[in-house]
Amino acid sequence: MAVNRRELLIGGALAGLGLAGVSPGRAGEAPAEPERKQAVLKISSQEGAIPGKDLNEKLDKMEKWGIEGLEIGGAVGREKSLPEALKDRKIKVSAVCMGSLGGRLVSPDNAAREKAAEELKRHLTAAGEVGSTGCIYVPCFNGEQDRNDQEVRKLLAESETGKDLAKVIGYRNAEIRKIAVDMLGPIGEHALKCNTRVLLEPLNRGEAWFLRQVGDAAAIARDCKNMGVCVMGDFYHMGIEEPSNMGAFIAGGQWLHHVHLASRSRVMPGQDKEDEANYLSGFRGLKHIGYQDFCSFECGCRGNKDEGIPKAVAFLREMWEKATI
């Protein structure tokens, strides 16, 4: 049974569907425990998560609370004003949280892909100018290039002919992966020139079936073959998709360059009862890989933010201390 199915594979193993783009030799892992820097906990926040009437008021609060990084929604148009606003501050830009560009970088339409690539490069140029570690990018939300069955069924019911359906079925995940690797390689080279990175973000299956685990994102980054394509992890999505936060971050390894912080239900870390176990496990992973980048709030807050946020910072520092490897 299984012996038969496998006998077919031995020998010509990489010829199967979707493996055309896979190199048979992958970059080997370090042969022994590599010498790594000691990991650091640098806390950041998305701009929108901090209370305050303007950026300066937010930055004042962040400094008071020991938050060292600012994550922004986009750097295009802020290339001058943002470094200016931060010039007498300890706070640095952590990351740019961009989005998916409508999934167009993995579109079946070549012209749409090329246009999206140019757009992503513009975001990366701006991200580099404000000193961001990377530009957070989601290849494909559910319902973008990766159409869902419900939609297909509705169109099937409405359609008299099958001819138009090729369009609505859209690209399948295996194809999207191949397109993503092909498109992201050169974009990663652009990112490196700008001193920044594309940061692939795995979400949970309710938002994006295509990319749901840190290890899967890291395998795509590895296959892009340049360090301008890297990954991030988000404690909220990881709570749904990852069986082990430690395992996930170790899988992210050298490709992991940003982390989103949230509780199990996406409020401040420490506000849900599972958070202690989840953060201890995740922080053990970060310590194992010698993580050097920011961990950034992307979450709401249960109750008053001026109380909840500093409490979350204290919770994180306590978990970091306790997370032994």
Q: Which of residues 155-214 bind a copy of itself (CB under 8 A)?
A: 155-156, 159-163, 165-166, 169, 171-175, 177, 204-207, 209, 212-213
Q: Give the shortest CB-26-to-a copy of itself separation in angstroms.
A: 6
According to the binding rule CB under 8 A, does residue 252 interact with a copy of itself?
A: yes
* CA separation for the pair 263, 243 (Å, rounded): 16
Q: Give the shortest CB-94-to-a copy of itself separation in angstroms.
A: 13
* CA separation for the pair 293, 129 (Å, rounded): 18
Q: Are 212 and 237 in contact (CB under 8 A)?
A: yes
From 222, 229, 226, select the one nearest 197 (Cα to Cα): 229
Q: What does the per-residue mask of binding to a copy of itself show for 94-123, with x meaning CB under 8 A?
A: ---xxx------------------------
According to the binding rule CB under 8 A, does residue 22 interact with a copy of itself?
A: yes
According to the binding rule CB under 8 A, does residue 10 interact with a copy of itself?
A: yes
Burial (0-12, 13-18, 19+ Cβ within 10 Å), 147: middle
From 142, 138, 145, 144, select the one nearest 100 (Cα to Cα): 138
- Name the token pair of 257: 């360059």
* CA separation for the pair 300, 313 (Å, rounded): 14
Which residues within the stretch 278-297 sit at the binding site for a copy of itself (CB under 8 A)? Answer: 278, 280-281, 284
For a copy of itself, the binding residue among 63, 73, 193, 314 (CB under 8 A) is: 73
Stretch that binds a copy of itself, among 11-19, 37-45, 79-87, 125-133 (CB under 8 A): 11-19
According to the binding rule CB under 8 A, does residue 35 interact with a copy of itself?
A: no
